[in-house]
Amino acid sequence: MRFAHISDLHLGKRLHEVSLLEDQAYILNEICKILQDEKPDAVLIAGDIYDKSAPSAEAVRLFDDFLSGLSADGQTVFVISGNHDSAARVAYGGRIMAKGGVYLSAPEYRGEVYPVPLEDKDGRVDVYLLPFIKPIHVSLAFPDEKIESFTDALRVAVERMAVNPRRRSVLVAHQFVTGAVRSDSEEVSVGGLDNVDVSVFAPFSYVALGHIHRPQNIGSPRVRYSGTPLKYSFSEAGDEKSITIAELDAEGAVSVCTIPLKPKRDLREIKGTYDELMKRENYEGTETDDYLRVILTDEIDVPDAMRKLKTVYPNVLRLDYDNARTQSGAIFGDLPATEAKDPFALVEDFYSRQNNQPMNEAQAEYMKTLIARIWGEEACGR
């Protein structure tokens, strides 16, 4: 049996205050095209459907269009809620949608997770939908159990599923499994309190995970994060986004492959001096409308750099400098006594320490004039 595994759509997300809905609509359409070609037996969507628990109407409409398209193509779909979602909102209409082959996780965890059976030429496969859970959820469902960690919670939740060891089984879940490589776009729990040991998933043939944004296996292809369909932080700039295709043989052994996803606009970093990046020969033929983090290596900050860069690169989201000043970290240490210094000398000393170099002649003259105006003097002596 073949499964297409995706997760962490984060519909409605804004990146540096820029809406990504257009890019998300594009990539969901690309996913639909791929699924039409691949014809998996089921599509697994492992949580964080939305970026907020109260998503915008546009985000909800986009997911509705996506599910409607999958259903019209005859796809069987399994959806769970993640930590960014409202479980009740994601589950709305679940009993009606199940009649059309779209199965949603429960609106809240009460300790009962029943399998949805699928059939192929090799027999039955049980699919379990476990929404994002915390220890408190499991403690409330099973007050007699000793639950002190996320691992305890998942262990008890899985044990109560009573997975049949003689059948192939798939779990769709949304948790942080110890050893997974994070990125900057994820919520981080202080001290790793949300860690789950991979051993709790032992009863399953395949575990389709969401929550971590980089695609990766945990220990083996049997436990896998599909990652996000789009890059949601510049720490992911070098990643390749994809759909995971997981195939179970008659004995429950799993093999995994990925199908790359090409976005409408990529998320990239470019680096160089302002003059280098603005030379036509250096940007011509490149995707200048990608979402960009620009790293300027100029030693002196370029006035109004962001506006100027956007005349060539309209979707610059972030501007940073990499030069002697930033590399030094601007660590000041003990400052000399200031009582005997005139205002210009203080500014000059501060600039030198902040930028790891002295002011040039034009900067010095401008600062002298400015100080003179502020202090109401003809000139500032040295």
DSSP letters for 355-376: HTS---HHHHHHHHHHHHHHHT
Same structural domain, 68 and 185: yes
Task: Tell me if 129 is assigned to some domain.
Answer: yes
pTM recorded for the entire structure: 0.83
**Range among 90-99, 168-177, 370-379 with highest mean pLDDT value:** 168-177
- Which among 235, 260, 285 is the end of a domain? 260
183: its two tokens? 């990125």
Q: Are residues 193 and 120 in the same domain?
A: yes
Percent of the chain with pLDDT over 70: 92
| pLDDT tens-digit readout, 215-238 | 999 999 999 999 999 999 999 999
Domain boundary among 213, 245, 260: 260
Q: Residue 356: what pLDDT?
A: 67
Residues 41 and 188 in one domain: yes
**Do residues 34 and 93 both lie within one domain?**
yes
Say whether both 371 and 299 belong to one domain: no
Q: Do 232 and 299 sit in the same domain of this protein?
A: no
Is residue 381 a part of any domain in this protein? no
| Same domain, yes or no: 132 and 194 | yes
Q: What is the mean pLDDT of residues 297-322?
A: 95
The type of residue at 121 is K
CA atoms within 13 A on the CB side of 305: 20
Full 3-state SS string of 317-347? EEEEECCHHHHHCCCCCCCCCCCCCCHHHHH
Residue 140 shares a structural domain with residue 275: no
Q: Are residues 159 and 30 in the same domain?
A: yes
pLDDT band at 309 (very low <50, low <70, confident <90, very high): very high
Question: pLDDT tens-digit profile of 50-65?
Answer: 999 999 999 999 999 9
- Same domain membership, residue 233 and residue 130: yes
Same domain, 276 and 359: no
pLDDT per residue as tens digits for the range 103-122: 999 999 999 999 999 999 99
pLDDT at residue 378 in the model: 44
Q: Contacts for 278-281 with beta carbons within 8 Å, 24 or more apart?
A: 278/308, 278/309, 278/312
Residue-number span of the structural domain to which 307 is assigned: 267-322
CB–CB of 192/242 below 8 Å? Answer: no
Question: Looking at the predicted structure, is the pLDDT value of residue 336 above 80?
Answer: no
Q: How many domains does the chain have?
A: 3
Mean pLDDT of the chain: 90
The answer to whether position 380 is within a domain reads no
Indicate whether 116 and 204 sit together in one domain: yes
